[in-house]
Structure 1
Amino acid sequence: MTISAAPAVAAHLDRIGVAAGPPDVAQLDRIVRAHTATVAFENLDPFTGTDPPVDPAGVTAKLVHGRRGGWCFEHNLLLHDTLRDLGHAVTPLVARVRLGLERSAPATSRTHRLTLVTTSQGRFTVDGGFGATVPTAALRLVTGLEQPTGQAVYRYDRDAQGTWVLQRRGSSGGWTDQYAFDLLPAPDVDFRTGSWHLTHHPESGFRTGLTAALVTPRRRTTLDGTRLTVRPADGPARRRELDSPAQVRAALEDELGIDTGGVAGLERRLRAVYFS
């Protein structure tokens, strides 16, 4: 395959600064690291009452050409299709988010997208859309192996039903579940349904509050409502409360690399939720 045969792939790789090459594990890891360091996680669409795109052309137009970020359904559709078109063997998966929950807690809905990549060196998972705790590398799908990334250490566990559970080691040294999934290929309708549910359900946090994150090898930057937090890889966190819609927009643009110019109604929504 040549990049000229797939303009969407060429545009994505140009956006994240990765050159084309053979579809091996080294390329896979380069793409994941560059994507997570360049394309932010953000929920500006559901926050402002807009349905996020759920089709490849719409996602490419927004995240690549529009220089926006997005959530898991967008990030991982884009990554899935790019990896597929580069020659990787990919399988779309759907997960139940377990962040902050005990293993015994009731099941959550299947509202997180990720991708399984099968290579000659084993199976890996790719996830570009899990907010501030997104894995910034392709993770080997084996149980118990501690896998350091630039900002955290991850491992895979299996629960009593044999379900795969991604875990992240916290600052206290303990392990926290991130999400759980099986390896059955998920159809597009699961992702379309999950996107609609999180956009329109009245209790969805993606609808009621603003969140954004960008994780690079040097720092993890998060915006939670009006609180901006920057956590350098080698130093203490810095936190700042933002005092106006203009400051929030500036943080989105300057700290998280999100072009907010096309987000209709952002200032009005910020004033209604945070500055009324």
Structure 2
Amino acid sequence: MTTTPLTAPPTVAAYLDRIGVAPGPPDGALLARIVRAHLATIPFENLDPFTHTEPPVDGAGVAAKLVHGRRGGWCFEHNLLLHDVLKDLGYRVTPLLGRVRLGLDDDAPATVRTHRLTLVETGEGAVLADVGFGGTVPPAPMRLVEGIVQPTAHADYRFVRDGAGAWVLQRRGSAGWLAQYVVDLAPVPDADYAMGSWYLVHHPDSGFRNGLTAAYTADDHRATLDGNRYTVRRPDGRTERRELGSPAQVRGVLEDAFGIDTGAITGLEDRIRAAHFG
């Protein structure tokens, strides 16, 4: 494994400064710090697809939005950014695509491969790093080991294998183990990510197109916004819920609680009103 470059590329330096992490050797400890800080700093949000705007699908466009701008994004943006930064820091990385299973029964038909994440090789073994799965994202890199429970501050996770040999990430909730997504380890070309992004922006049944969502994960809480419902969950089980009464209040929470600059998003309050106050 290589060592961290003495002078990091400008985007990497700006990213590490944005999330408040000092560079170091590309090992498991640095990766865990990066994932933890990224999730607490750069929010998950779908304001571009929600307002029918094409989000960036290239590294420069994503960095301009998530690193240099005060915005968040969805998995295609978060995990592209993470992939590129980790590669520049000296990690061996492989981009992957998974099928989301959250909220589905085990026997539900296969879903489209629309969740981006990254396989990372560290000195401690292979892990999956994911900073783009919203309110139930694993808050740490997950070791790619079958059947081992991996505790985090917010939930326990584990990998199992399905009948085809793919890896299934599960999270333990009040109803037991629930599948988050299914992923194989085949590398995916950039064209497939662009197609997945386009599909979720334009398909009439896409939840990202039809409803507003935002989330971030800090050490002591997770915050989520689902339409006009704002929720904060604590690791000890305490939950605070608030229903927002107007599009202006929703916009205010996006700005104040999630740190999102909404000033350049044309027609946002009208879109919120149509989708969640109609």
Distance in 1 of aligned mates of 2:277 and 2:184: 42
Partner of 1:135: 138
| Post-superposition offset of 1:213 | 0.6
Aligned counterpart in structure 1 of residue 225 of structure 2, from 208, 223, 229:
223
| Post-superposition offset of 1:235 | 4.6
Partner of 2:24: 21
Question: TM-score scaled to structure 2, two decimals?
Answer: 0.96
Aligned counterpart in structure 2 of residue 122 of structure 1, from 121, 125, 129:
125
Q: 1:262 to 1:189 in 2, by over 3 A?
A: same
Aligned counterpart in structure 2 of residue 236 of structure 1, from 235, 238, 245:
238
1:78-227 matches, cutoff 5 A:
78-172=81-175, 174-227=176-229
Determine if contact 1:99/1:176 at 8 Å carries over to the other structure: yes
Aligned counterpart in structure 1 of residue 269 of structure 2, from 258, 261, 267:
267
| Post-superposition offset of 1:4 | 3.6
Gaps of 5+ in 1: none
Determine if contact 1:3/1:9 at 8 Å carries over to the other structure: no
Distance in 2 of aligned mates of 1:159 and 1:187: 24
RMSD: 1.1
| Post-superposition offset of 1:255 | 1.3
SS of the residue corresponding to residue 9 of structure 1 reads helix
Question: TM-score scaled to structure 1, two decimals?
Answer: 0.97
Determine if contact 1:213/1:222 at 8 Å carries over to the other structure: yes
Q: 1:235 to 1:177 in 2, by over 3 A?
A: closer
SS of the residue corresponding to residue 16 of structure 2 reads helix
Distance in 2 of aligned mates of 1:5 and 1:231: 36
SS of the residue corresponding to residue 65 of structure 1 reads coil
Partner of 1:34: 37
Amino acid at match of 1:189: A
Determine if contact 2:26/2:122 at 8 Å carries over to the other structure: no
| Post-superposition offset of 1:215 | 0.9
Amino acid at match of 1:264: T
Partner of 2:56: 53
Aligned counterpart in structure 1 of residue 15 of structure 2, from 12, 17, 38:
12
Amino acid at match of 1:215: T
Distance in 1 of aligned mates of 2:7 and 2:92: 21
Quote the sequence identity (%).
Answer: 66
Q: Residue by residue, what CA displacement relative to the aligned partner does 1:212-239 show, whole Å, maximum 9, x if unpaired?
A: 1111111111100001011122352111
Partner of 1:250: 252
Distance in 1 of aligned mates of 2:169 and 2:79: 16
Amino acid at match of 2:109: P
Distance in 1 of aligned mates of 2:225 and 2:201: 19
Determine if contact 1:150/1:216 at 8 Å carries over to the other structure: no
Aligned counterpart in structure 1 of residue 73 of structure 2, from 64, 70, 77:
70
Distance in 2 of aligned mates of 1:101 and 1:260: 32
Q: 1:68 to 1:3 in 2, by over 3 A?
A: farther
Distance in 2 of aligned mates of 1:45 and 1:114: 20
Determine if contact 2:42/2:66 at 8 Å carries over to the other structure: yes
Determine if contact 1:164/1:180 at 8 Å carries over to the other structure: yes
Distance in 2 of aligned mates of 1:105 and 1:273: 27
Distance in 2 of aligned mates of 1:5 and 1:256: 28
Determine if contact 1:3/1:10 at 8 Å carries over to the other structure: no
Distance in 2 of aligned mates of 1:201 and 1:253: 28
Determine if contact 1:15/1:64 at 8 Å carries over to the other structure: yes
